Structure 1
Amino acid sequence: MCGIVGAVAQRNVVPILLEGLRRLEYRGYDSAGLVVINNGLHRVRSIGRVASLAEAVKQQHVHGGLGIAHTRWATHGAPNEANAHPHVSHDLIAVVHNGIIENYEALRLHLRELGYVFTSETDTEVIAHLVHHYYKIKPDLLIATQQAVADLKGAFAIGVVATDAPQRLVCARRGSPLLIGLGIEENFIASDVSALLPVTQKMIYLEEGDIADIGLLAINIYDAAGQAVTRNVFVSEQSSEMSELGNYRHFMQKEIHEQPRALIDTLQDAVMGEQLSSAIFGFEAENVFAQIDAVAILACGTSFHAGSVAAYWLEAIAGIPCRAEVASEYRYRISVPNPRALVVTLSQSGETADTLAALSHAVSLGHEHTLSICNVPESALVRASKLRFLTRAGPEIGVASTKAFTTQLAALFLLTMVIAKQRGRLTSEDETKYIHALRALPAEVQRVLTLEPAIAQWAERFADKQHALFLGRGMHYPIAMEGALKLKEISYIHAEAYPAGELKHGPLALVDKDMPVVAIAPNDALLEKLKSNLQEVRARGGELYVFADFDTQIANSDGVHVLQVANNAGWLSPILHTIPLQLLSYHAALQKGTDVDKPRNLAKSVTVE
């Protein structure tokens, strides 16, 4: 979950590296560093944010035409300067790395026997020494990297430079994302397209096992077997400005307010007419959906919550059995495979390590029907799936996911409708009604966003709290889970979510005047049951914060705070009720003074197990 940038050019690459790191800082921000080759190897490292590194680079007047840089989320070793990347071997080889080397302890022991001295606790340092070891035998950076990579077990994306090869950058990927940016007599590497948008929009996405030898004028790519290959060049639809903060205080706030536009962009092709087509999921979708008799959704974190909502939709509307499962658990348990099930994987980045591994495991069990719902067109998850649907949320920089979540929900509702239609469970009247509801959704979300000032006032009451409880029923229970996750992620308030009916089975013991209880109260078939649950909270002195539909007849009173969110939106209600929970978490974090976009111990793109 680290960020890598590299560049080879006929100009000073240091500003390119620093700007790239700034744009990748969401991937890790424990430490940062860079190496530049210019009549020798010059390394600068710092603890904390990229701004600290930039200041150190300025003081040391570092410049050069070849360099690699890194922003770190600590795995092996504490976040200190000794463990910061790049790692260097004998002032000759420098390496940056994202991922985890699983056999690093055995390699470290072997390299020590060869006389290498380690100065860090990281697994990455073994890569630098391995490349150096092979480079001494044959001084060719590509060959040395290929031989070193063959010794590694685990997941990695690496960039490698050598002091005596001042116009050569070698990189490799296995299990972690890496791409090449193409310029005019200059080329680049990065973990994410956003890092390179200021210098190019032409990208090559490396495939699993690829190693690339990059110079000023030429790029040579080799597959895992060492054979020269050609990879497609893509032009990114993103712009440099899309990753800028603009007039917002934080990226999270910006991304919350971008949700109407993100939903329009995600839905527009699907709901332009009066009928849905299965082709929005791929040319083979109609044939695939005709063969399935169940759905299995695999995802992590926020994406798992989206999948959990979809399980309610798919069973109720499409009449097809569905289960949502945490990807990191699925691959490590003995399951009963159903080859006729559609396996749906959800990920914002498309590079989430556990989700990729879960998909691979499902395929190994005989699951041929696979669909990825993802925000990144050329990600590993999309490439590994038979069918795909792209959410067009645009770049999401804040670590706490917002617009990626709501666009995933929109995509999953489309999937529900298409499968229901294929199974003869969607009448033409309902199809038309749902399409119109989806078209109206962005405007409804925009109206909910107008509640921000009132929600900010609520958030003031959360600033001194240590715990919070979130309640929901039915398809809103996963939304309560998402609300609790958001609050704990960015405000560090411990929060739990429960189905409201489970209060009396344990959680009610925690309720007192110091634990705010947040409830989602749509006007649905479970409303009266929920009202009874809320009375249980008030009877124990609990303070209630209720996000309700307009017509729920829940009034403000002593200890009961109510905000009316929207008219009842039926099956789409979970999307609307997500928005105020995001705003509550954001403003609670502001009140507590935490780092909203970069919460402690977390990173955005979880590319390690």
Structure 2
Amino acid sequence: MSRTLMWLEAASASKVVAEQLAQNGGVLAAIAAALAETPAPVVVTCARGSSDHAAGYLKFLLETRAGTLVASLPPSVASIYETLPRIGDGVCVAISQSGRSTDLLSTVEAMQRDKVRVIAMVNDADSPLAAMADFVVPLHAGVERSVAATKSYIATLFAGLHLTSVLAPATLPSSLLAALPQQLDQAWALDWTPLIDALADARGLYVIGRGAGLAVAAEAALKFKETCALHAEAFSAAEVRHGPMALFDADLPLLVFRQDDAAADSIDALVDIAVGQGCRVFVTGRARAGATALPVIDAPAIVQPLLQIQSFYRAANDLALRRGLDPDNPPLLRKVTVTV
């Protein structure tokens, strides 16, 4: 397949993660020290698009590993409705590639007026968002020219993982993070051709995840839309049972992001239902009767989402080309999206 910008940028994710490991230790230690002195009873995240999907992974990490409640704050609460929930000694994590979106900056300004501590996870360390934050966690993804965010998304997932490992080191050993650059390269080499073949002429699909995998399910659904002109809806493996599974039939493919954790049994049960309804189902990792298993890297469940979305990016690039599309230049979209 052609080496598009999307292909080249996604392939470099391992180098981005290695750079974060080498460069971000100091700022993460400073954040940990500040939170040890004044603990945060709640963390609010503020982001849009792929950055917001990455915020979902951070939410899962902080709630399950650090025991901290996390809520997503829509930027429009501050930018349009001109209000802000009171979070006291809480922390705002603002996530952005460009650090220039008007609504995000409005939220951070409101947080500053309320004396809320702000952590910016941002790719452009010279951006207005970085200048406003109390702590800046650079993503180190470098210039990303393809409209589809790939390496910067994985960089944001890793930034959340790295931060959580510093805040709750007993739950995330450093060896787990150190192994990721090599594992990302291995994940990039995996062959998901059966998925590409099945979706070459598809009109839509469900993308399913749960727990740590829900954030990458949402990201994959977005990439199907913007690079492949393929309508995809992301659902939790639990929430899809509350109505959406009524559409299960032979015309609805499913891509299921499965990790080997406490949610695995519920995901397997859902796969069995979908297969029984005639759906063509693709599952990352463990094979189920009637479903197609997509190869994955053997790694702890908490990092599997980073590796699985890396394999997905290569498949999405190739699927876009198979469908006669340019994944670098989706219609109506541009790299920096400014919302109010």
Q: TM-score, normalised by structure 1?
A: 0.53
Does residue 286 of the first structure (1) align with residue 286 of the second (2)?
Answer: no
How far does the alpha carbon of each residue in 1:537-558 deviate from its partner, in whole angstroms, 9 at most, with x for none?
Answer: 112111001111xxx3x24x54
SS at match of 1:304: helix
For 1:579, the equivalent position in structure 2 comes to: 310
| Cα distance in 1 for residues equivalent to 2:115 and 2:230 | 40
Secondary structure at the aligned position of 1:587 is classed as helix
Residues 1:342 and 2:79 are matched in the alignment: no
The aligned counterpart of 1:458 is 195
Q: Which has the higher strand share?
A: 1
Q: Distance in 2 between the 1:465 and 1:601 partners? A: 22
Q: What is the Cα-based RMSD across aligned positions, in Å?
A: 2.0
SS at match of 2:108: helix
Are 2:2 and 1:251 equivalent residues in the alignment? Answer: no
Structure 1 partner of 2:178:
439
Contact 2:95 2:122 in 1 (8 A): yes
Determine the structure 2 residue equivalent to 1:385.
133
Partner SS state of residue 179, structure 2: helix
CA distance in 2, matches of 1:460, 1:398: 24
Q: Distance in 2 between matches of 1:419 and 1:522?
A: 23
Partner of 1:399: 147
Q: How does 1:569-608 map to 2 (within 5 A)?
A: 569-608=300-339
2:253 corresponds to which residue? 516
**Distance of 1:524 and 1:309 partners within structure 2:** 15
Q: CA–CA distance in 2 between the matches of 1:284 and 1:449?
A: 32
Structure-2 separation of matches of 1:417 and 1:282: 10
Q: Is the 8 A contact 2:99 2:129 kept in 1?
A: yes
Aligned 1:32-111 pairs, distance under 5 A? none
Aligned residues of 2:29 and 2:166 also touching (Cα < 8 A) = no
Shift in alpha-carbon separation, 1:307–1:513, aligned structure 2, 3 A: same
More helix by share: 2
Matched residue SS, 1:606? coil
- 8 Å contact kept, 2:78–2:106: no
Q: Which secondary structure does the structure 2 equivalent of 1:546 belong to? A: strand
1:522 is paired with a residue whose SS is: coil
Which aligned runs of 4 or more in structure 1 are off by greater than 3 angstroms? 281-285, 328-335
- Report the alpha carbon displacement of residue 576 of structure 1 after superposing the two structures with TM: 1.2
Residue 547 of structure 1 is matched in structure 2 by 284
1:490, distance to aligned residue in structure 2 (A): 0.9
Question: Residues 469 and 329 (structure 1 numbering): CA distance in 2 closer, same or farther, change over 3 Å?
Answer: farther
Secondary structure of the structure 2 residue equivalent to 1:395: coil
Contact 2:207 2:217 in 1 (8 A): yes
* Alpha-carbon distance in 2 for matches of 1:512, 1:531: 17
Contact preservation (8 Å) 2:58, 2:160: yes
For 1:60, the equivalent position in structure 2 comes to none
Q: Per the alignment, do residues 258 and 536 of structure 1 end up closer, same or farther by CA in structure 2, a change over 3 Å counting?
A: same
Q: Distance in 2 between matches of 1:594 and 1:606?
A: 21
Which ranges of structure 2 fall in alignment gaps of 5 or more residues? none
Amino acid corresponding to residue 102 of structure 2 in structure 1: A
Q: Confirm or deny: 8 A CA contact 1:263 1:410 kept in the other structure.
A: yes
Q: Deviations over 1:376-425 (max 9, x none)?
A: 121111001111111111111111111101111111112212233xxxxx
CA distance in 2, matches of 1:371, 1:590: 38
Query: Residues 308 and 323 of structure 1 are in contact (CA less than 8 Å); yes or no, is this contact kept in structure 2?
Result: no
8 Å CA contact 2:84–2:110 kept in 1: the answer is: no
**Other-structure match for 1:174:** none
The structure whose Rg is larger is 1
2:16 paired residue number? 262
Give distance in 2, aligned partners of 1:261 and 1:588.
25
* Cα separation, 1, equivalents of 2:175 and 2:304: 14
Counterpart in the other structure of 2:161: 413
In structure 1, how many angstroms separate the alpha carbons of the residues matched to 2:246 and 2:301?
Answer: 33
> Structure 1, residues 138-169: CA drift from partner, whole Å, max 9, x if none?
xxxxxxxxxxxxxxxxxxxxxxxxxxxxxxxx
Per the TM alignment, residue 369 of structure 1 is displaced from its structure 2 partner at its CA by 0.6
Distance 2:253 2:19 in 1: 36
CA contact (8 A) 1:296 1:344 kept: yes
The CA distance in 2 between the partners of 1:438 and 1:360, in whole Å, is 33
Greater RCO (CA < 8 Å, at least 6 residues apart): 2
Please tell me whether residue 359 in structure 1 is matched to residue 108 in structure 2. yes
Residue 252 to residue 315, structure 1, CA distance change in 2 (3 Å): same
The amino acid across from 2:4 in the alignment is: H
Verify the 8 A CA contact 1:300 1:328 in the aligned structure 2.
no
Among candidates 232, 256, 281, match of residue 495 of structure 1: 232
Q: Supply the distance in 1 between the matched residues of 2:111 and 2:193 (Cα, whole angstroms).
A: 44
Q: Calculate percent identity across the aligned residue pairs.
A: 25
Aligned length: 338
Distance 1:544 1:281 in 2: 40
Q: Is the 8 A contact 2:139 2:152 kept in 1?
A: yes
Unmatched 5+ stretches in structure 1: 1-246, 271-276, 421-425
Matched, 1:319 2:61: no
Q: What SS does structure 2 have at the residue aligned with 1:566?
A: coil
State how far apart, in whole Å, the 1-side matches of 2:115 and 2:87 are.
7
Normalising by structure 2, report the TM-score. 0.93
1:73 match: none
**Structure 1 contact 523–568 (Cα < 8 Å) conserved:** no
Secondary structure at the counterpart of residue 295 of structure 1: strand
Tell me the distance in 2 between the aligned counterparts of 1:437 and 1:374: 23
User: 2:10–2:150: 8 Å Cα contact kept in structure 1?
Assistant: yes
Structure 2 distance, partners of 1:572, 1:455, is: 19
Residues in 2 aligned to 1:316 and 1:496: alpha-carbon distance in whole angstroms? 26
Check whether the contact 1:304–1:326 (CA below 8 A) recurs between aligned residues. no
Supply the distance in 2 between the matched residues of 1:284 and 1:326 (Cα, whole angstroms): 24
Q: Which whole-Å CA distance do the structure 2 matches of 1:512 and 1:567 have between them?
A: 31
